[in-house]
Amino acid sequence: MEDKRTLFFPASLFAIFFVLIAFTGFFQIRIIEENIEGILQAEGEILSKSIQQETDRNIEYLNLLGKSPAIITPIYLNVLSYDEAIVDDLYDELSKRSLPELDRTSYRHLLVADEKGRQVERKGSISVPPSYFEALLKRGERTVLKMPSDEDQTLLIGVKTKDHLLFVSLDGEELRNLRKKAIVEAVLEAEEKRLNVSGISVFDPKGALYLGLKPKAGKAYKIVKPLSARYFPNYTLEIRMSSSLVRDTQRRTTISFVVLLSMLLLGGAAGIYIIFRLERKAAERLKEMERDMELKERLVSLGKLASGMAHEIRNPLNAMSMSIQRLKREFVPAAERQDEYYKFIDIVRAELSRVNQLVEEFLLSTKSHAPMEDEKLHTIVEEIAIILGERANSKGIRIVNRVDGALVVKCQKERLKQAFLNLVLNAIEAIAKDGTVTISSEISGPFIRIAIKDTGPGIKKEALSKVFEYHYTTKDKGMGLGLPISFTIIKDHGGDIHVASDEGKGATFVITLPMKR
């Protein structure tokens, strides 16, 4: 539950921050899209005005040209080229269309003759000179043409098809209308080359396509305006602006924003995870420090109490020892019981001596105010290996000293040796038979780390937090004093001690001591 509360605040803050950025980003994308659409609309408006102006101006020049051929015309106005284009269109139409289709055309003057020159159909007033028939029928020509001139403004074209002779005559009005159409087409072709223009079409008053391509289905920005109220009344100009710019910009912006959001999401998730892990580690470290402080306070209190009790125990022990000596000298029984008497007296003295030795060792371990001296760690460990060597050999256990011979610490030698001896002795007692106790060292910054590792059965997980408590033991005959005493000694030397164990794979006690500077 505490982990969830720790995670809730940064996660909620990041979620709000992420939603705000996402909302702002998509809002900005929409604004960009609308701005580009507005630019395209404005460009279309400018283009429609340009087409209208160019169309009106060129048609005015066309009208003036009929009155004064010497007038200078704009670049679009080339009457000869327009007439040639009109002739090409007429030739293509007459060559490809059938007679019923020709009847439905808007040509006012049309003549159809058979392969012998006999008239088959006539429309309007068209006059074809005999020489044109002769050119098509006898001289094998496929086309005859009469271009307009100052004297005769009509245009006459004759085409020989497979079965017929077709003649079309364009009067002055028809020719002017086609020229006007050609002018508009030239203007549209020039304007369609502009950027972002996908197509331009002109529709007649009935809504039929007059010029340009039929608009395709799909998204495009359309601008619909009148073509020219003066020369093309009720004709409609439709300009289609390409939406590709909007789509590309929107796609690139969206992709960039989504990538940014993804990176932000991943970075935020990683950040929250790191914060959570750091918070958790800090909480665990704080709890560990609190446990260490609590344990140290308890050990110190119990140590002081035990030290006081040890002092009190020594006094009666001394009294008892002196009394035993007096008994041995002054209260000797009869001769027949002297051997048994001396035997019991020696046993009591030996036990009193053993108890006194235990008290002396305990008091030695609590002498925290003894002077500090420079000592080599390797030498201390080697002495411990010698002391416990016989006991280890009896169980087939090897004590391996891998401590660097150059490492020196400032310590109370006998107390520090007592701390290491308790740990090594515990390791030997933990191994049933045939194993190894390895003591190694390494430098970690300003500290020396000494590891005492055994190949025993290890320590159960639930016992790891209790091993340094007074009177806690898993041994049948243990008193639970060795590890607490070692803990107190290491702490008095400004160090620390930790234990790690995998059940079934042995245990490792790691002592950290400050290095001599």
Global pTM value? 0.46
Beta carbons within 8 Å of 203's beta carbon, 6+ residues apart: 209, 210, 235, 236, 238
CA separation for the pair 117, 163 (Å, rounded): 11
Return the closest-CA partner of residue 143 out of 92, 182, 85.
92
- φ, ψ for residue 189 (rounded to 5)? -60, -40
pLDDT in tens, 364-398: 555 556 678 888 999 999 998 888 888 889 999 99
- When pLDDT is cut at 50, 70 and 90, the band that residue 66 belongs to is low
| Max intra-chain CA distance, the chain | 184
CA angle 403, 409, 414 (to 5 degrees): 90
Lowest-confidence segment of 214-228, 277-291, 491-505 by average pLDDT? 214-228
What percent of the chain has a predicted confidence (pLDDT) above 70?
82
Is residue 188 helix, strand or coil?
Answer: helix
Please determine, for residue 213, whether its predicted confidence score (pLDDT) is greater than 70: no
Identify which of 96-100, 403-407, 468-472 has the greatest average pLDDT. Answer: 403-407
In sequence order, which ranges of 111-223 are alpha helices (DSSP H)?
A: 130-137, 172-191
Residue 495 has, within 13 A of its CA and on its CB side, a CA count of 26
Phi then psi dihedrals of residue 190, to 5 deg: -70, -40
The pLDDT of residue 448 is 92
* Burial class (CB within 10 angstroms; exposed 0-12, middle 13-18, buried 19+) of 277: exposed
Highest mean pLDDT among 210-214, 314-318, 483-487: 483-487
438 pLDDT band, cuts 50/70/90, is very high
Q: pLDDT for 40-59, tens place per residue?
A: 788 888 888 888 888 888 88
> What six digits make up the tokens of 378?
């390797």
Strand partners for 408: 376
What is the predicted pLDDT for the residue at 229? Answer: 64
- Answer whether 478's CB lies under 8 Å from 465's CB: no
Of 23-32, 363-372, 402-411, 439-448, which range is least confident? 363-372
* Predicted pLDDT of residue 72: 54
Mean pLDDT over the full length of the chain: 79
Q: How confident is the model at residue 67 (pLDDT cuts 50, 70, 90)?
A: low
Distance of CA 195 to the CA centre of its chain: 37
